[in-house]
Chain A
Amino acid sequence: MTSITLTLKNTPNVPLETEVLTPDRLAGLAHDEIRALPVFLGKRQLRLDDLFDIEGERSDELQIFGATRQLKSIGRGMTRGRIAIHGHAGMHLGAGMRGGSIEVHGDAGDWLGAEMAGGLIQVHGNAGGQVGAAYRGSMSGMQNGTIVVDGSAGIEVGTRMRRGIIVIKGPARDFTGLEMKGGTIFLLSGAEQRVGAWMRRGTIVSMLPLQMLPTFAFACSYHPDFMRLLARYLSQLGIDIPHEPQDGPYDLYSGDASIPGKGEILVWRSGLSE
């Protein structure tokens, strides 16, 4: 089964809503049926082939090319297959996805993997805000799955997330892990401030020292056993986490006392000196 290749013809001047671009939707469709799928350019409903050059059919592997920064909701709710975006992706990429994988060779917009429940998203550029977050008014964000961002991330990463793993290799901005209820966030280059604000449970691991809220209390310095398990999983994705005893201990901060919550922030001790 070959892949379906979509190449954007021109740069849209307003956002293009392309939630039809999921392997679930395209896998069973013939070439002509794919060409006729509806997309929304601003308020206007158009056919997919008005905007894209399309090759291939009946595949759960999608390759997307072109100036795709304005494309919203690619891979929304997907459960299987693969999407590769050779460019930047717009907002809501992989929102609510339950399986499959997405790879972006560029930046991703806000709400990357928002409320996702499974699968893998890899972004080789930067991500926007609200990575793996809950939509406004929703009680829980990411439920499971893995998000890896090679670059930086915006505000409110992992808001209200319940399960799953988010790895941000670059710096993250304010309110990382806001109102977190579970899951794990790795910050390989630290974050700006208010990390773990109002968190109930869950784990935030930082390789660099963080500006703590006054409502977090230092608990102890130790070698978490679970770090070895996580490190083994993350090494499959090419991410190296210090986990051996000789790598040095982690400082455990517990909070947020304003809830009062049982969340934990682990800061790698050796990161302090670097």
Chain B
Amino acid sequence: MAAQLGGKVSCTLGEVKNRADFIVYWGSNPADCHPRHLSRYTIAQKGRFLPRGRKDRTVVVVDVRETKTSNPADVFLQIRPGKDFEVLTTLRALVKGQPVNPQLVAETGVTVEQLQDLVDRMKRARFGVMFFGMGLTMTRGKHMNSMAILTLATEMNAFTKFVAMPMRGHGNVTGADVVMRWTTSYPFAINFSRGYPRYNPGEFSTVDLLVRGDVDAALVLGADPGATMPMPAINRLAGIPTIVLDPKVTHTSRLARVHITTATTGISAPGTSYRMDEVPLTLRPPLRSPYPTDEEVVRRIHQAVARKPDWLTAHSGTSPIAQA
């Protein structure tokens, strides 16, 4: 959504590995959460245009606390929680040489001098990349925080090459976004009730629908909202017919009406997974599973639904509210 509001400059991780001499991690701790990321693509690797590896790269970490990622960083900016948007907006102003209010900047936990130094380093870089994690996207401001960092990266391209890339959470979140995008032209929060896709985050996004109680059934596919969503949403999931498709028993399947065990994609089911830079990777399963794949289950549900008579003809003359 932020990408839609502000535009997005991206690249593949191969480019990051071979070219990025300036790397920012914002609200993200890949040393703990994406353990292979640092060694494969960024800090440890020697790239084609960065023959000295770590010595050729500048690493900046922006976070609210020290982490395993911030230890080896060249610059660590510790900002106060919930001040990401203010810092990013200040950076946007400094990039353009605009004045800012030093007292109000100091309230974010960093000084104008520190931010000016960061801007100078960013402008000197040949290829900059900003990775941002849930420390940015899931704190106060949410999509506006993502939009701020994406816009900053876009605007940095007036001076040098810069990209921004989200460090996604567990599961194939990127894959869901990408597939929804090329099938419906929207990434998420899509409503098909009128027979065509309609998109409105905040109105049709899952959490909001559940919290408001706007849905009367749910199909959960390869996700565990019962572990991550706010309590009112979980209560709603428990109150309505919820169907879960998952290889294992999750928090969600404990409160669901139906749990269908499926094969694990990548281990016992084939498929395509999207890497965080949206590069599709084919998965070749080494094992076989007695369970059906997600795809097969959804297809069989779809066939069964298609065999049922059309709702309107079947219920003509009855009051829909009374049944509800």
* Residue B96 lies at the interface, judged by CB distance under 8 Å to chain A: yes
Partner of B200, one of A44, A45, A135, A197: A135
Most buried by B among A12, A50, A214, A216: A214
- Within B281-310, the residues touching A (CB, 8 Å) are none
Would you give the shortest CB distance from A74 to chain B, in whole angstroms?
15
**Chain A 3-42: CB-based contact to B (< 8 A → 1; otherwise 0):** 0000001101111000000000000000000000000111
Most buried by B among A40, A46, A198: A198
Partner of B193, one of A42, A129, A215: A42
Contact in complex: B203, A110 (CB < 8 Å): yes
Partner of A178, one of B4, B144, B194: B144
* Residue A111 lies at the interface, judged by CB distance under 8 Å to chain B: yes
Partner of A44, one of B89, B93, B320: B320
**Chain A 64-94: CB-based contact to B (< 8 A → 1; otherwise 0):** 0000001000000000000000000001000
| Cα A256 to Cα B144 with chains together (Å) | 15
Contact in complex: B214, A15 (CB < 8 Å): yes
- Note all chain B residues with C-beta closer than 8 A to A9: 321
**Chain A 242-274: CB-based contact to B (< 8 A → 1; otherwise 0):** 000000000000001111100000000000000
**Chain B 71-112: CB-based contact to A (< 8 A → 1; otherwise 0):** 000000000000001100110110010111110110110000
> What band does the interface of chain A fall in when counting residues whose beta carbon is under 8 Å from B?
35 or more
* Residue A137 lies at the interface, judged by CB distance under 8 Å to chain B: yes
Residues of A near any B CB (own CB < 8 A)? 9-10, 12-15, 40-46, 50-51, 70, 91, 110-111, 129-130, 135-137, 174-175, 178, 194, 197-198, 212-217, 256-260
Contact in complex: B194, A43 (CB < 8 Å): yes
Q: Known contacts A44-B320, A46-B320, A111-B203: does B144 contact A175 (CB below 8 Å)?
A: yes
- Note all chain B residues with C-beta closer than 8 A to A111: 203
Contact in complex: A91, B4 (CB < 8 Å): no
- Note all chain B residues with C-beta closer than 8 A to A256: 89, 93
Contact in complex: A13, B90 (CB < 8 Å): no
Contact in complex: B194, A194 (CB < 8 Å): no
* Residue B216 lies at the interface, judged by CB distance under 8 Å to chain A: yes
Would you give the shortest CB distance from B308 to chain A, in whole angstroms?
14
Most buried by A among B1, B100, B199, B311: B100
| Cα A43 to Cα B93 with chains together (Å) | 46
Q: Which residue of B lies closest to A154 (CB)?
A: B202
Q: Which residue of B lies closest to A46 (CB)?
A: B320
| Cα A50 to Cα B320 with chains together (Å) | 8
Partner of A214, one of B86, B140, B320: B86
Interface size on B, residues (CB 8 A): 41
Contact in complex: A215, B312 (CB < 8 Å): no
With A110-B202, A214-B89, A214-B108 known, 6 other A-B pairs at CB within 8 A are A136-B201, A194-B85, A215-B89, A215-B90, A257-B98, A260-B93
Contact in complex: A216, B320 (CB < 8 Å): no
Residues of B near any A CB (own CB < 8 A)? 1, 4-5, 85-86, 89-90, 92-93, 96, 98-102, 104-105, 107-108, 140-141, 144, 192-194, 199-203, 213-216, 311-312, 319-322, 324
- Note all chain B residues with C-beta closer than 8 A to A175: 141, 144
Contact in complex: A51, B321 (CB < 8 Å): yes
Q: Which residue of B lies closest to A178 (CB)?
A: B144
| Cα A130 to Cα B321 with chains together (Å) | 30
| Cα A266 to Cα B9 with chains together (Å) | 36
- Ordered by A's residue number, 23 sampled pairs between the chains whose C-beta atoms are within 8 Å are A9-B321, A10-B324, A12-B324, A14-B214, A41-B321, A42-B193, A43-B192, A43-B193, A44-B312, A130-B202, A136-B1, A136-B5, A174-B141, A175-B144, A194-B144, A214-B93, A214-B107, A215-B89, A215-B92, A215-B100, A256-B93, A257-B93, A257-B96
Contact in complex: B199, A40 (CB < 8 Å): no
Would you give the shortest CB distance from B109 to chain A, in whole angstroms?
12
Contact in complex: B89, A198 (CB < 8 Å): yes
- Note all chain B residues with C-beta closer than 8 A to A50: 319-321
Partner of A129, one of B96, B192, B202: B202
- Note all chain B residues with C-beta closer than 8 A to A129: 202
| Cα A147 to Cα B104 with chains together (Å) | 32
